[in-house]
Amino acid sequence: DGGITQSPKYLFRKEGQNVTLSCEQNLNHDAMYWYRQDPGQGLRLIYYSQIVNDFQKGDIAEGYSVSREKKESFPLTVTSAQKNPTAFYLCATYLQYTDTQYFGPGTRLTVL
């Protein structure tokens, strides 16, 4: 997991609530990514950011929002508009020219 922290590890949410998942890194990597993983599925990209104060939508951005106010932090908000938010959420960083994505330990979100 090396230098990427995600919190909380487990999160329970009632329907209709917004929740924010934290991702912090001390690797000094420029790019950060949020993925969602459903049981038996690969990873699907939600949002990504290559520099501070800039981010782009991934393949499944609807119902999610992000911010990138500082290099170390890339929080993800799961809004009430996300119809099926129960999943395993993974944050990753990428250092250009190393061709390696580094993953955090993940947050498992369950909607009750």
> Minimum distance between the CB of residue 16 and other proteins, rounded to whole angstroms?
28
Any residues with CB less than 8 A from the CB of 94 and at least 6 apart, and which? 29, 30, 31, 32, 33, 100, 101, 102
Interacting residues with other proteins between 63 and 92 (CB under 8 A): 90
- Residue 5 lies near other proteins (rule: CB under 8 A): no
The helix, strand and coil proportions of the chain, stated in percent and rounded to the nearest 5, come to: 0, 55, 45
**Please, which residues bridge with residue 70 across strands?**
73
How far apart are CB 51 and other proteins at their closest, in Å?
A: 11
**Nearest-5° angle of CA 24, CA 30, CA 35?**
60
Segment near other proteins (CB under 8 A), from 19-27, 35-43, 62-70, 72-80?
Answer: 35-43
- Contact flag: residue 103 with other proteins (CB under 8 A): yes
Beta bridge partners of 23: 6
* Residue 11 engages other proteins in binding (rule: CB under 8 A): no
Which residues contact other proteins (rule: CB under 8 A)? Answer: 1, 31, 33, 35, 40-45, 48, 50, 56, 58, 90, 94, 96, 99-101, 103-106
